[in-house]
């Protein structure tokens, strides 16, 4: 028995029978996305066909072989750590393969740049190195949008939804990719939960497409923008982002779908099932909406009061769009917020940390963590006064376990440590302070635009090569909520043990 277990990989750091199907499934999804872009290139006839057809033709058979080779394994010994590795490898593989079209077509020349662009896409960050989007072929633009859309709810969630279940392994990977402080499962079988999330996602994508069309976008712009809006990604087909359309209707539609993308997707499904099951998630939703409204109000007043004063209507329009775009970690731009006064700029920086709700496509720390952190901090202060009180972490009547308290506090300290160390590192490779801190914050919180040289109207071309590699890693860490990636950096993870 012992020998057979070892042969299945339990003794080694990598549990191949778990990793291979997930990576293969991910590559299959990426390959299919490329095939769609190849079709798009053929229709548009702009010469980008080979850049997609060739990698797709290579990746799809490889993925098929990978899936077929593990199909017969029914029960695979599984360790807690295997899910983390599988998910992280799947994302890295997706980003690597996704970089190929940028290189092959020549949109980006250095492999590092292509990898950055691809990772920025899959993690729904929206930071770009492409200077003039209007000069790019349709297929490249569509590919950027598709990477964001695949990464939005999650590639592994998609794999779990579609691929035949592999037992325990799928659950761990599902929750390793999905954001949140607690495991929120909707159905008996995790694959059904994944199907529901993707079903909701597809439904909103379809609805958003219709809405963008109705607001006056062309079909190509509409499809691209809904893919990146519902994923709260922020890639646009225009260099000037949403500002290029200069349309109130389009901005409103964008706002609505960014807000939708920032809400827990499980919540929509629960809403269909009746109000009772919704209750645990309402406090977070309420806080999320309150944050958006209050921040919009503050920024609007700041803009009205500022010296370069604009009309109240425009102030509201600009601030609402920017606040929603930044808080939901989308990163679309209609106004250059670097022209705002310092107060409003720093408020934007703070909102980047908040992010959307857990279980949404948005990045950031997530509203529920912010609520829990505030509660935990207040309780810690109160504990100094009343040391014998039994402190229960509670948000809106919902009780969270002490493990969640520890997890949230650990998450926050690691998050802040990454920001601090990252800022110093970025400054070390020659960036100014504003650029260094905001590029780290914008990448870790998967926003996209920051301040300084990576500001609203700029792109990331000012960042040196090693900086791009580092920021790509931050994006991945931010998308997978830090722990999934960080455990791979611990020696214990790679030690041979049975646990």
Partner 1 sequence: MLVIVIGAGDVGRHIATTLSAERHDVTIVDQDEERVEALRNDVDALVVAGNGASPKLLADLGAANADLVCGVTQSDEANIIAALAGHQIGAKQTVARVRDADYFGGDESFSRQVLGIDFVVHPERATADDLAEAILLPGAVHVEHFADGRVSVAETILTARSPLVGQQLGARRMVRPNFIFGLIRDGKAVAAESFHMPKQGDHVLVAAAREHIGEVVGHIAGRTPTARDVIVFGAGRIGLPLGRRLEGKDGVRVTVMERDPERARYAAERMKRNSVVLEEGVDKDVLLAHGVDRVRAFVACAGDDRANLLAAMHAKQLGADLCLAVVSREEFTPLVDALGIDAAFSPRLVTAEAILRSVRGGNVHGMYLLLGGAEVLEVHAEPGCRAEGRSVGDASKYAHTRIAALVRAGQVIIPRGQEKVQRGDRLVLFNAIRGVADVGSTFGAK
Task: Give the interface with partner 1 as residue ranges (CB under 8 A).
Answer: 379, 382, 386, 388-392, 394, 397, 399
Alpha helix (H) ranges present in 155-264?
155-162, 168-177, 190-214, 219-230, 248-261
- Residue 167: how many other CB atoms lie within 10 Å: 14
State the minimum distance, in angstroms, from the CB of residue 186 to partner 1.
Answer: 24
Residue number, 394 or 465, with CB nearest to partner 1: 394
d(CA 98, CA 150) in angstroms, rounded, equals 11
Structure tokens belonging to residue 291? 């944050």
Residue number, 132 or 386, with CB nearest to partner 1: 386
Spell 67-86 as b/e; 16+ CB within 10 A means b.
beebeeeeebbbbebbbbbb
Residue number, 308 or 388, with CB nearest to partner 1: 388
Residue number, 7 or 388, with CB nearest to partner 1: 388
- Residue 16: how many other CB atoms lie within 10 Å: 16
Residue number, 5 or 394, with CB nearest to partner 1: 394
Structure tokens belonging to residue 266? 């499980």
State the minimum distance, in angstroms, from the CB of residue 449 to partner 1.
Answer: 41
Residue number, 43 or 378, with CB nearest to partner 1: 378
State the minimum distance, in angstroms, from the CB of residue 346 to partner 1.
Answer: 33
Pick from 448, 223, 496, 420: nearest CA to 326 = 448
For residues 343, 285, 221 and 142, what is the CA-based torsion angle, rounded to 10 degrees? 100
Residue number, 4 or 386, with CB nearest to partner 1: 386
State the minimum distance, in angstroms, from the CB of residue 386 to partner 1.
Answer: 7
Residue number, 65 or 378, with CB nearest to partner 1: 378
What secondary structure letter does DSSP report for 283? H
Contacts of residue 131, Cβ cutoff 8 Å, sequence gap at least 6: 239, 459, 461
CA of residue 216 relative to chain centroid, distance: 28
Residue number, 391 or 434, with CB nearest to partner 1: 391
Residue number, 138 or 375, with CB nearest to partner 1: 375
d(CA 115, CA 122) in angstroms, rounded, equals 11
Contact (Cβ atoms closer than 8 angstroms) between residue 258 and residue 325: yes
Contact (Cβ atoms closer than 8 angstroms) between residue 260 and residue 375: no
State the minimum distance, in angstroms, from the CB of residue 378 to partner 1.
Answer: 10
Structure tokens belonging to residue 94? 């997706």
State the minimum distance, in angstroms, from the CB of residue 273 to partner 1.
Answer: 22
State the minimum distance, in angstroms, from the CB of residue 392 to partner 1.
Answer: 5
Q: What does the longest C-alpha to C-alpha distance in the chain come to?
A: 77
Structure tokens belonging to residue 28? 């299959």
State the minimum distance, in angstroms, from the CB of residue 408 to partner 1.
Answer: 17
d(CA 477, CA 460) in angstroms, rounded, equals 19
State the minimum distance, in angstroms, from the CB of residue 439 to partner 1.
Answer: 41
State the minimum distance, in angstroms, from the CB of residue 375 to partner 1.
Answer: 10
- Residue 285: how many other CB atoms lie within 10 Å: 18
């Amino acid at each position: 028995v012992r020998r057979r277990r070892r042969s299945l990989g339990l003794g080694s750091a990598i549990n191949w029978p778990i990793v291979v199907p997930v990576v293969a499934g991910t590559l299959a999804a990426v390959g299919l996305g490329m095939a769609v872009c190849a079709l798009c290139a053929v229709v548009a006839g702009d010469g980008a066909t080979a850049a997609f057809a060739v990698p797709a033709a290579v990746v799809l058979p490889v993925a098929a072989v990978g899936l077929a080779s593990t199909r017969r394994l029914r029960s695979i010994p599984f360790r807690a750590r295997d899910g983390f590795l599988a998910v992280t490898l799947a994302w890295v593989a997706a980003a690597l393969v996704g970089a190929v079209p940028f290189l092959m077509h020549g949109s980006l020349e250095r492999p590092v740049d292509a990898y950055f662009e691809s990772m920025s896409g899959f993690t729904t960050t929206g930071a770009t190195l492409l200077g003039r989007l209007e000069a790019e072929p349709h297929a490249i633009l569509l590919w950027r949008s598709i990477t964001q859309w695949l990464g939005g709810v999650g590639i592994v969630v998609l794999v779990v939804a579609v691929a035949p279940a592999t037992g325990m392994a799928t659950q761990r990977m599902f929750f390793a990719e999905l954001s949140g402080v607690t495991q929120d499962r909707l159905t008996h079988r995790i694959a059904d939960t994944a199907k529901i999330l993707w079903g909701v996602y597809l439904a909103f994508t379809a609805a958003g497409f219709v809405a963008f069309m109705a607001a006056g976008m062309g079909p190509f712009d509409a499809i691209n923008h809904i893919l990146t809006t519902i994923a709260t990604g922020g890639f646009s087909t225009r260099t000037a982002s949403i500002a290029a359309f200069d349309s109130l209707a389009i901005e409103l539609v964008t706002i609505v779908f960014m807000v939708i993308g920032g809400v827990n997707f499980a919540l929509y499904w629960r809403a269909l099932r009746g109000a009772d099951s919704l209750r645990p998630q309402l406090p977070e939703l309420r806080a999320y909406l309150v944050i958006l409204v209050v921040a919009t109000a503050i920024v609007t007043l700041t803009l009205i009061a500022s010296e370069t004063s604009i009309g109240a209507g425009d102030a509201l329009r600009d601030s609402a769009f920017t606040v929603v775009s930044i808080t939901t970690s989308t990163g679309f731009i209609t106004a250059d917020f670097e022209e705002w006064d310092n107060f409003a700029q720093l408020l934007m920086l703070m909102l980047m940390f908040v992010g959307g709700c857990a279980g949404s496509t948005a990045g950031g720390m997530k509203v529920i963590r912010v609520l829990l952190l505030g509660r935990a901090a207040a309780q810690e202060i109160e504990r100094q006064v009343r040391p014998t009180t039994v402190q229960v972490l509670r948000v809106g009547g919902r009780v969270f376990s002490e493990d969640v308290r520890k997890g949230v506090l650990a998450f926050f300290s690691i998050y802040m440590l990454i920001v601090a160390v990252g800022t110093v590192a970025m400054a070390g490779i020659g960036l100014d302070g504003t650029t260094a801190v905001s590029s780290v914050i914008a990448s870790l919180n998967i926003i996209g635009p920051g301040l300084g040289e990576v500001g609203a109207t700029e792109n990331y071309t000012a960042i040196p090569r090693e900086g791009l590699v580092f920021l790509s890693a931050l994006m991945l860490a931010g998308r997978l909520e830090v722990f999934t990636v960080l455990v791979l950096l611990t020696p214990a993870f790679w030690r041979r043990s049975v646990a």
